Amino acid sequence: MVAVIDRPDLDGAWLNIGGPRSIRPPRVAEVLSRVIGRPTNYEPCTPAEFGRYLCDTWGDEMTPTERAVTEERIAAF
């Protein structure tokens, strides 16, 4: 995640994020806070909530049918 912060060519790209070791989400938030110079927080949510939150970022660009399918697929992922 840190490596792509200064890569505008990757803005909006879908990335699988991984590395040589696994780190827990609170640590990810801590590292990102340090790198971007402002606080970030990890707030856990269910897969269904995450699907809704992600679809919310697309605003009104999705039909209700597209949104329902997308939310379901994200939650299943």
Residue type, position 68, single letter: A
6 against 52, higher pLDDT: 52
Break the chain into its structural domains and give their ranges: 2-36, 47-76
pLDDT in tens, 24-44: 999 989 999 999 999 999 999
Please check the confidence at residue 46 and state whether its pLDDT lies above 80: yes
The pLDDT of residue 74:
92
Q: What is the pTM of this model?
A: 0.57
Q: Compute the average pLDDT of residues 46-51.
A: 94
From residue 75, give the alpha-carbon distance in Å to each of 42, 48, 49, 66, 70.
18, 5, 8, 14, 8
